[in-house]
Amino acid sequence: MKKTLLTYVKPHVQEDPLSMILGIGYLGAMMEREKLPIALHDERVGNDQDMKAAIDANDIIGFSALTPNIRRAIAWAKYAKEQGKITVMGGPHASVDQGVFLDSGHFDYVLKGEAEHTLPELVRSIEGNDDNALLEIPGLASMRDGELWVDNPAPPLIKKLDELPIPARHLLPMESYFKNNPEHLVYIFTTRGCPFKCIFCQKELTGRGFRVRSTEAIVDELEHIIKTYDPGVILFVDEILTLRKKRIHEMCDEIIRRGLKFEWVANTRADCVDYPLLKHMHRAGCRRIYYGWESGSQRMLDVLKKDLTPEVIVNAAKMTRRAGIWAKVYLIVGSPGETPQDIAETEKVLRLAGPDLIRISVFNPLIGTESWDNYQASIDISDLSENYVSSNRSGYKHEHFTQIELEELRKRMVRSYEKWYYAMPQRLRRVYERGLYYIENPQHGKKRLGRAVGLVPPPQRHVVTNHH
């Protein structure tokens, strides 16, 4: 039987802490459930020789890559074809731009949409050399003799997420992730999709609906992660974890009921939290929240269709701090029509809100998004076709800033904010606010004081091995 390899192509710049990839983890788990031979490889762990060895050892090579890294995926597919392998591309970019892969001549198949069900179908059809079965696979696109042979629409979105197995973390190099990431970070999904209409977001893969897993399934997986891997931090990588507050209250109740002690991080929006929810999340172990603010200028928030106001942003930051939770925020510079005045308004909101960390990217109109459709006249297609994008460069030709100016602006904003954040007045402000938190939550204050004077020992962690 043919052996399948699913490989994640590394970014040219690794900006986030090294941690596991959930996408190929889910696919690997489905292949195991279907009793099909499967291996997973993360190119970020190891070197080119390791990647070549993984490709050489398997028959069907499936690639996963973010938009900035598709050129690298194509280069690896070329190598795989030279070794006589069958090549497949999936993921968000493949779902909106199949041509860039098929036209390269290095991919036999593209799978659009969620592929947990269609990948096993594809592998079985290849194994059986069954063209009729291939023609029926939802989301499959393929060329033959220079012509498009099959181009099926993506499959319906998977409605019942509880029916999916948990990701095959045991097939991933967990020890290597932990070795390269001092926090021992582990990822988990509880939802798929996002109903908001931000113009810069690709939604073709998971859709604009909002599909959720049950509380029991989520906490079962959390318990499995904790017992198996002893993580330092668990990151909920849902786009908006707290969209439905009731289910997060239920999740926190179940975490507390089972006595699970772990630190976790959430991604969400400023208008999807309130103080009672944030307090409950902290009690259940949430210590950080990552917010997508994008801007502090109302005009830019409207351009990006964020459906937020600066007042909501500032209020969410203050509530988060009051609940004892640390906040990181994501911002975008160089949005269409942005001016120095808009930048100044963003910097003013940052200082009113006082988040603990900011991360700034340059506006990028990705294919398959409203920004791509609306700003075609200002996109340098030839530049994108060669380089694609990253957080610090863009194919968008801005009205008021050059690419160099935007990159300098991005760096200056970060330096300026960090200088302000670490200045003594802000340090004193945070000490004061932390003190108010401990007065309001004396049980945490006693533990913190006990640790400070050595009466309460710090939490202990044991070393986890042999999970790959």
CATH class of 4-151: alpha beta
Q: CA-to-CA distance for 346 and 340, rounded, in angstroms?
A: 10
Q: Tell me, what's the pLDDT at 434?
A: 79
Residue 234, CA distances (Å) to 19, 328, 340, 426 in order? 11, 16, 38, 29
- In which band, very low, low, confident or very high, does the pLDDT at 462 lie, cut at 50, 70 and 90? very low
Q: What does the pLDDT average to over 131-143?
A: 97
**Statement: residue 386 has pLDDT above 80:** no
Q: Tell me, what's the pLDDT at 467?
A: 43
- In which band, very low, low, confident or very high, does the pLDDT at 463 lie, cut at 50, 70 and 90? very low
Give me the percent of the chain exceeding a pLDDT of 90.
Answer: 78
Residue 54, CA distances (Å) to 45, 83, 336, 391 in order? 12, 12, 43, 29
User: Which residue ranges make up each domain of the chain?
Assistant: 4-151, 183-422
Q: Tell me, what's the pLDDT at 14?
A: 56
- In which band, very low, low, confident or very high, does the pLDDT at 177 lie, cut at 50, 70 and 90? very high
Can you read off the two tokens belonging to residue 162? 């509880």
Q: Tell me, what's the pLDDT at 447?
A: 61
Residue-averaged pLDDT of the chain: 91
Q: Report how far Cα 26 is from the mean position of its chain's Cα atoms.
A: 14
**Statement: residue 34 has pLDDT above 60:** yes
Give me the percent of the chain exceeding a pLDDT of 70.
Answer: 91
- In which band, very low, low, confident or very high, does the pLDDT at 17 lie, cut at 50, 70 and 90? low
Q: Which of 67-81, 165-179, 335-349, 377-391 has the lowest mean pLDDT?
A: 377-391
183-422: in CATH 3.40.50.300: no
**Statement: residue 15 has pLDDT above 60:** no
Q: What does the pLDDT average to over 262-275?
A: 98
Q: Tell me, what's the pLDDT at 392?
A: 67
Q: CA-to-CA distance for 233 and 266, rounded, in angstroms?
A: 11
Q: pTM of the prediction?
A: 0.91
* Model pLDDT for residues 399-436, shown as the tens digit of each residue: 999 989 999 999 999 999 999 999 999 999 888 887 87
List helix spans (H) across 274-323: 275-283, 298-303, 310-322
* Model pLDDT for residues 120-129, shown as the tens digit of each residue: 999 999 999 9
